[in-house]
């Protein structure tokens, strides 16, 4: 890199703290710079305590930028990345900047945070000076070398960067205290010259890591920089080191300078402007005194800020006339692909969605279930049966229907530790597995034999009833096909030891349902199967399956087509799955609470045979 150059088209930075937007803006700037900027300007991200990769765009491509948990690890992984862009808060900016300065690979540190303690900044400055390193900031937006490298949010949006022609180098070196004003000046300079070669905002603190004169002296050594523009501000004495440099003849290129804050004299008392350093102290620190001193030292100083643009223009045109500047040839920057989200927002494009959902919406003030806001569910005193009717059936069912759903859930919540589901859950919990593993291991046993016969019971009972089959014809036709009647039969319940749950459901339905024709049909089937074997009772699955058919058909809330669809899709096993989850969770807690050891089935209970 030539003397004075801080950055080049191959400069890469390490970015401290993951901030998606400024990093993406740096990468977008790289792309804007065209083919000269082939590598992304951010080599790695340091996100204390986290490691991995962050996906970002480099032009149209997505790239994965490595994330490191420490500054040391990042520097070791990216030895050619010599700029450290510090987006730490003011609390940790000094410590992290010092760590970065101590890394042999780091040459430039930019500190964005405002409010870094002055004593800490002084230590950073002392360390940087004695180790030949450069600090930009604190309290800075950063800097930019046009067409080569940009720090963080410098120069604002891509539109502004294009507007200010920062995608290619011009002939002007610019340095200011204020980051906000630097954006303004990039515009001004682009209007009246061939543009910026490099721009730096040193930051508004009392003790900036590098000074206006540091950068002017550096620009003076960069052959491509033909003239310089300085924007100082009242407060502090930084501008006087530039005055000294000018007086000593250390600067041999034209310097246009303005110190803002001349209005401070209109105030009766001392005035503190936005920056910590922008405070009108004694006369020497006034904008007027500094402007005068700069003028006397040889800088071109206009009579007001309003005249600054014309002064820059005149100076530039004179250099062109003298043949010292050949204005750069205009190039057309590449178009940055627009982000899909912003393009959609502005109505420029439309994109297909990947998911369609009709049961709930959480985008508003509160989630809605099938259009009913949660607060209304709570205010109306609705229960879990109503929530199920909204989320599964997408409608508010009459109270007797939702009560029936709730009774199903209560009655199926558990049936002791010996059934398939509970057994699996208990074994899993005792194997030291977590709640979800124990729960799903139990749930996975729900199927055609255990608890998951409700849908098939509804399908077969409906088909047989609707086709007018007698119970005899129905059961025998099933037997011929070799299919066990779903909803019939139980391991422990008998004709003389009925399932209480079935009786309770039947009682509720007989009292509340307008019609129980499917249930009565199931009872007739049971009468016939019981004549064959005493365990072939209507079981809880069969009772729920047949009664839900009555609910669907009798409530007047579903069309025939909807009922067929519900039966076809198979909604009703969901009732058992939901209910039994309650019990399986209970069994998991029970085993854990009892600190039960690993389960091993006894040899005596296994028939070993050939
Ligand atoms: N046979 C439930 O069988 C069980 C027949 C049948 C015609 C039938 C069996 C069955 C249909 C599926 C069903 C839900 C496997 C049950 C539940 C939840 C639970 C569980 C709990 C809880 C029981 C003996 C003879 C054989 C068979 C014949 C049996 N079932 N014929 N239709 N449905 N049902 N499942 O006792 O001539 O001797 O060869 O598959 O509805 O899971 O509490 O435990 O809350 O957790 O093992 O209530 O009925 O009878 O297999 O020895 O058969 O009866 O063909 O005839 P078993 P098997 P044959 S509720």
Q: List, for residues 128-171, the tens digit of each pLDDT value.
A: 999 999 999 999 999 999 999 999 999 999 999 999 999 999 99
Of the two residues 353 and 122, the one the predictor is more confident about is 122
Single residue among 303, 322, 341 that ends a domain in this structure: 322
ipTM, two decimals: 0.96
Label residue 236 by pLDDT band (50, 70, 90).
Answer: confident
Beta bridge partners of 16: 46, 86
Q: What is the CATH number for 279?
A: 3.40.50.261
Output the pLDDT for position 432: 98
Beta bridge partners of 58: 61
Q: Residue 527 C-alpha to ligand 1 middle, in angstroms? A: 15
3-state secondary structure of 405: helix
Label residue 62 by pLDDT band (50, 70, 90).
Answer: very high
Residues 465 and 579 in one domain: yes
Sign of CA dihedral 121, 123, 127, 132: positive
Q: What's the rounded Cα separation, in Å, for the pair 224 and 220?
A: 9
Output the pLDDT for position 609: 95
Q: What's the rounded Cα separation, in Å, for the pair 518 and 204?
A: 82
In whole numbers, what is the pLDDT of the chain averaged over residues?
A: 94
Output the pLDDT for position 263: 62
Residue 381: both structure tokens together: 């005193």
Q: What's the rounded Cα separation, in Å, for the pair 326 and 3?
A: 22
Q: What's the rounded Cα separation, in Å, for the pair 400 and 402?
A: 6
Q: Residue 601 C-alpha to ligand 1 middle, in angstroms? A: 24
Question: CA separation (Å) from 17 to 73, 237, 317, 451?
Answer: 14, 33, 44, 53
Closest CA to 87 of 40, 138, 37: 138
Q: What is the CATH number for 513?
A: 1.10.230.10
Output the pLDDT for position 284: 77
Ligand 1 — pocket residues by CB below 6 A? 415, 419, 449-451, 453, 484-491, 533, 535-536, 539-542
278 pLDDT above the threshold of 60:
no
Q: What's the rounded Cα separation, in Å, for the pair 142 and 53?
A: 25
Mean pLDDT for 518-527 is 98
580 alpha carbon, distance to own chain's centre? 36
In a domain, 547, yes or no: yes
Burial of 128 (0-12, 13-18, 19+ CB in 10 A): buried
What is the side-by-side order of every strand in the sheet holding 108-111? 52-58, 61-68, 42-46, 13-16, 83-86, 108-111, 134-136
Mean pLDDT for 509-534 is 98
Residues 299 and 421 in one domain: no
Q: What's the rounded Cα separation, in Å, for the pair 404 and 386?
A: 10
% of the chain at pLDDT higher than 90: 87
- 275 in catalytic set: yes
Output the pLDDT for position 180: 80
Residue 301: both structure tokens together: 């100083």
pLDDT tens, 459-489?
A: 999 999 999 999 999 999 999 999 999 999 9
**Cβ-contact 228, 175 below 8 angstroms:** yes
Single residue among 322, 337, 352 that ends a domain in this structure: 322
Question: CA separation (Å) from 6 to 42, 143, 216, 524?
Answer: 16, 10, 12, 92
Q: What's the rounded Cα separation, in Å, for the pair 532 and 13?
A: 83
pTM: 0.70
In a domain, 301, yes or no: yes
Residues 578 and 456 in one domain: yes
Mean pLDDT for 426-451 is 98
Output the pLDDT for position 148: 97
In a domain, 218, yes or no: yes
Place of tokens 């729920």: 544
Output the pLDDT for position 300: 97
Query: For ligand 1, what atom is nearest to the CA of residue 457?
Result: 41
Domain residues for the domain of 530 are 413-594
Residues 429 and 287 in one domain: no
Q: Residue 486 C-alpha to ligand 1 middle, in angstroms? A: 8
Top mutation candidate among 451, 484, 493, 505 for ligand 1, by most atoms within 8 Å of CB: 484
In a domain, 403, yes or no: no
Mean pLDDT for 512-537 is 98
Residues 305 and 433 in one domain: no
Q: Which of 68, 78, 215, 275 is catalytic?
A: 275
Q: What's the rounded Cα separation, in Å, for the pair 595 and 429?
A: 10
29 pLDDT above the threshold of 70:
yes
Residues 115 and 238 in one domain: yes
In a domain, 64, yes or no: yes
Label residue 548 by pLDDT band (50, 70, 90).
Answer: very high
Q: What's the rounded Cα separation, in Å, for the pair 367 and 376?
A: 11
Output the pLDDT for position 12: 98
Question: CA separation (Å) from 466 to 293, 470, 521, 553, 573?
Answer: 103, 11, 11, 12, 21
344 pLDDT above the threshold of 60:
yes
In a domain, 353, yes or no: no
Q: Residue 418 C-alpha to ligand 1 middle, in angstroms? A: 16
How many independent structural domains does the chain possess? 2
In a domain, 532, yes or no: yes
**Cβ-contact 260, 301 below 8 angstroms:** no
pLDDT tens, 491-507?
A: 999 999 999 999 999 99
In a domain, 356, yes or no: no
Residues 318 and 444 in one domain: no
Label residue 178 by pLDDT band (50, 70, 90).
Answer: confident
Neighbours of 477 (CB within 10 A): 13
Single residue among 322, 346, 378 that ends a domain in this structure: 322
Protein residue closest via CA to atom 56 of ligand 1: 533
Q: What's the rounded Cα separation, in Å, for the pair 121 and 116?
A: 7
Top mutation candidate among 461, 490, 576 for ligand 1, by most atoms within 8 Å of CB: 490
Beta bridge partners of 259: 232
């Amino acid at each position: 890199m030539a003397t004075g150059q801080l950055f080049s088209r191959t400069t890469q930075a390490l970015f401290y703290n993951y901030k998606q937007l400024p990093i993406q803006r740096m990468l977008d700037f790289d792309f804007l710079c065209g083919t000269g900027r082939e590598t992304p300007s951010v080599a790695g991200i340091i996100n204390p305590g986290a490691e991995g990769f962050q996906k970002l765009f480099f032009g149209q491509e997505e790239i994965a930028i490595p994330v490191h948990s420490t500054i040391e690890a990042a520097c070791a992984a990216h030895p050619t990345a010599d700029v450290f862009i510090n987006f730490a808060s003011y609390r940790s900016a000094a410590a992290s900047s010092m760590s970065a300065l101590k890394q042999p690979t780091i040459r430039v540190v930019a500190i964005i945070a405002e409010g870094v303690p002055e004593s800490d900044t002084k230590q950073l400055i002392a360390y940087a000076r004695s180790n030949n390193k450069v600090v930009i900031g604190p309290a800075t937006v950063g800097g930019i070398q046009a067409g080569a490298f940009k720090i963080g949010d410098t120069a604002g949006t891509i539109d502004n960067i294009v507007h200010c022609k920062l995608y290619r180098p011009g002939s002007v070196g610019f340095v200011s205290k204020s980051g906000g004003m630097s954006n303004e000046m990039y515009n001004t300079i682009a209007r009246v010259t061939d543009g910026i070669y490099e721009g730096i905002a040193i930051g508004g603190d009392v003790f900036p890591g590098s000074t206006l004169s540091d950068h002017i002296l550096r620009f003076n050594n960069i052959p491509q920089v033909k003239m310089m523009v300085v924007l100082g501000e009242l407060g502090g004495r930084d501008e006087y080191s530039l005055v000294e440099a000018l007086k000593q003849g250390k600067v041999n290129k034209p310097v246009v300078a303005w110190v803002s804050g001349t209005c401070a004299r209109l105030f009766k008392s001392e005035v503190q402007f936005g920056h910590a350093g922008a405070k009108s102290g004694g006369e020497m620190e006034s904008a007027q005194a500094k402007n005068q001193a700069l003028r006397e030292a040889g800088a071109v100083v206009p009579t007001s800020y309003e005249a600054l643009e014309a002064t820059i223009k005149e100076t530039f045109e004179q250099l062109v006339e003298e043949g010292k500047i050949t204005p750069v040839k205009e190039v057309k920057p590449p178009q940055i692909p627009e982000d899909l989200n912003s393009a959609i927002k502005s109505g420029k494009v439309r994109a297909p969605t990947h998911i369609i959902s009709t049961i709930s919406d959480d985008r508003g003030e509160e989630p809605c279930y099938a259009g009913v806001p949660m607060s209304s569910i709570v205010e109306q005193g609705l229960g879990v049966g109503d929530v199920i009717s909204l989320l599964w059936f997408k409608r508010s069912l009459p109270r007797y229907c939702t009560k029936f759903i709730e009774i199903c859930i209560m009655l199926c919540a558990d049936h002791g530790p010996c059934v398939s589901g509970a057994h699996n859950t208990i074994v899993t919990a005792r194997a030291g597995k977590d709640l979800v593993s124990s729960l799903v291991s139990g749930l996975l046993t729900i199927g055609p034999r255990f608890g998951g016969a409700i849908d098939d019971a509804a399908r077969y009972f409906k088909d047989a009833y609707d086709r007018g089959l007698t119970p005899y014809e129905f059961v025998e036709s099933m037997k011929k096909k070799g299919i066990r009647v779903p909803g019939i039969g139980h391991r422990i319940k008998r004709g003389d030891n009925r399932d209480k749950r079935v009786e309770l459901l039947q009682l509720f339905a007989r009292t509340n349902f307008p019609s129980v024709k499917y249930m009565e049909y199931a009872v007739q089937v049971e009468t016939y199967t019981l004549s064959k074997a005493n365990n072939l009772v209507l079981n809880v699955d069969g009772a729920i399956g047949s009664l839900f058919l009555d609910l669907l058909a009798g409530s007047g809330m579903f069309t025939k087509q909807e009922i067929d669809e519900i039966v076809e899709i198979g909604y009703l096993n969901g009732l058992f799955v939901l209910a039994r989850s309650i019990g399986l969770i209970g069994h998991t807690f029970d085993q854990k609470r009892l600190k039960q050891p690993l389960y091993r089935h006894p040899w005596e209970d296994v028939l070993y045979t050939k």
